Amino acid sequence: MSQSIDAHVRHCLRGDLRQLEFGHAFAHDRALIRQMFRRHLRGDCCFLVVEVAGVPAGQAWVELPLAPGGVGALWAVRVRPDIRGLGLGSLLVRAALGALVSRGAATAELEVEPHNDGAIRFYERLGFRIEPGPPLRQPPGPALRGLLVMRRPLSGPAQEAA
């Protein structure tokens, strides 16, 4: 991170939804973003936003564990492309992991495209490791084929990485 930026993570608000499309980059996900927001309002998941200068700059959908000691998942971890590299993704993932810990999850899971070396390195720095096999949690939208599953324990040595 080359410069300091004033940012904080908070829960998503209805007024954030259109801005989380980041222009038109994720307009195709509009219905899914709204579905996740409704689930968030019901308490079925946690929809986090990283805010910079009063504007949503990133998001993460946190699939809460089904039972204490279970697996929680991170979906749609996104930061606006024009402000990547400032530590906002790390801030967002750490907040998401904290939400999972507070709900009793023992493991965090996510999926990443196999050719996205930057994302793989990013998650490895945060304690995630590539794991064989299918995900333990299903994505909120259509399942994509060929993704790598990454997991990390939410206690022990990997927790210090976050």
If pLDDT is split at 50, 70 and 90, which confidence band does 157 have?
Answer: very low
Q: Cβ distance 75 to 114 under 8 Å? A: no
Q: What is the pLDDT of residues 51-85, one digit of tens each?
A: 999 999 999 999 999 898 999 999 999 999 888 88
Q: What is the pLDDT of residues 86-134, one digit of tens each?
A: 999 999 999 999 999 999 999 999 999 999 999 999 999 999 999 998 8
What pLDDT was estimated at residue 25? 81
Interior/surface letters 16-29, b for 16+ CB within 10 angstroms, e for the rest:
bbeebebeeeeeeb
If pLDDT is split at 50, 70 and 90, which confidence band does 21 have?
Answer: confident
| Residues in CB range of 14: below 8 A, 6 or more apart | 37
Element (H, E) at 107: strand 107-112
Q: What is the pTM of this model?
A: 0.88
Residue 3: pLDDT above 80?
A: no
Q: Cβ distance 94 to 122 under 8 Å? A: no
If pLDDT is split at 50, 70 and 90, which confidence band does 22 have?
Answer: confident
What pLDDT was estimated at residue 4? 67
What pLDDT was estimated at residue 1? 43
- Closest among 151, 55, 90, 56 to 47, alpha carbons compared: 56
Domains of the chain: 7-161 (3.40.630.30)
Residue 161: pLDDT above 60?
A: no
Instruction: Say which residue, 99 or 155, is predicted with more confidence.
Output: 99
In sequence order, the β-bridge partners of residue 45 are 63
Residue 38: pLDDT above 50?
A: yes
What pLDDT was estimated at residue 24? 78
